[in-house]
Chains A and B, each alone.
Chain A
Amino acid sequence: KAGVTQTPRYLIKTRGQQVTLSCSPISGHRSVSWYQQTPGQGLQFLFEYFSETQRNKGNFPGRFSGRQFSNSRSEMNVSTLELGDSALYLCASSHGGTTPYEQYFGPGTRLTVT
């Protein structure tokens, strides 16, 4: 079974621009979650999508948004980039539901904002 894939792996953007990151979950997984990892704040939950609906959201400004498609692939978008948005963005997929299924993480997209 193929793992979680994220594209692109590396990205350099300028402050004020917007960016879209993509995540393809493991086949059969319906839940996709996004996390931001920075040296200062560690791993922080952004949001989770299940069956094309945002089911849970972390404490991030509205500049961070996402969506999920009918094939469970997900994208996250960050508008009006700030220097502080430089981070590793990770997505994770799971079966979803209220059972403690493990989450499988992708390798991440390293975003650098200059």
Chain B
Amino acid sequence: DAKTTQPNSMESNEEEPVHLPCNHSTISGTDYIHWYRQLPSQGPEYVIHGLTSNVNNRMASLAIAEDRKSSTLILHRATLRDAAVYYCILRDVAGQGAQKLVFGQGTRLTINP
């Protein structure tokens, strides 16, 4: 399973943008980059995913480096509700392991009011 590297923790202020980095230097051509987050006392929640191009949805944006060896999850205007552990995950959709999510330690995001 290709691995990802994320900072253990990050801190930001409410209503400011947050950039959460992820390194994945061993990414393969069939790996999609997924982000999930886990709020306290809840199961993980899907945030966004992408393959090569930058992606936007109502929750966040995903910026993918041209060589695909790194990516950044962008929360445009953080709220207190965004305080969670954010996981960057590579999913190889080429085969039976497509549904297997390999979670790392993630980044614990703290939002200050």
Q: Which residues of A contact B (CB under 8 A)?
A: 4, 31, 33, 35, 42-45, 48, 50, 55-56, 58, 90, 92, 94, 96-100, 102-108
Contact = CB atoms under 8 A, between A and B. Distances in A.
A98 B95 contact: yes
Contacts of B106: 42
B96 A56 contact: yes
B97 A105 contact: no
Interface in B79-97: 87, 91, 93-97
Contacts of A92: 43-44, 101
Interface residues of B, number: 25
Contacts of A100: 32, 34, 49, 51, 91, 93, 98
Given A100-B32, A102-B46, 18 more contacts: A31-B99, A42-B104, A42-B106, A43-B103, A45-B101, A50-B99, A55-B96, A56-B99, A56-B100, A99-B93, A100-B34, A100-B91, A102-B34, A102-B49, A104-B46, A105-B43, A105-B44, A108-B43
29 contacts: A4-B43, A33-B99, A35-B103, A42-B103, A42-B104, A42-B105, A43-B101, A44-B103, A45-B100, A45-B101, A45-B102, A48-B100, A50-B99, A55-B96, A90-B43, A94-B99, A96-B98, A98-B94, A99-B98, A100-B32, A100-B98, A102-B46, A102-B49, A103-B99, A103-B101, A105-B43, A106-B43, A107-B42, A108-B43
B15 interface: no
Nearest to B46: A102
Contacts of B16: none
Interface in B39-58: 42-46, 49, 51
Contacts of B103: 35, 42-44
Contacts of A105: 43-45
Contacts of A42: 103-106
A66 to B, nearest CB: 14
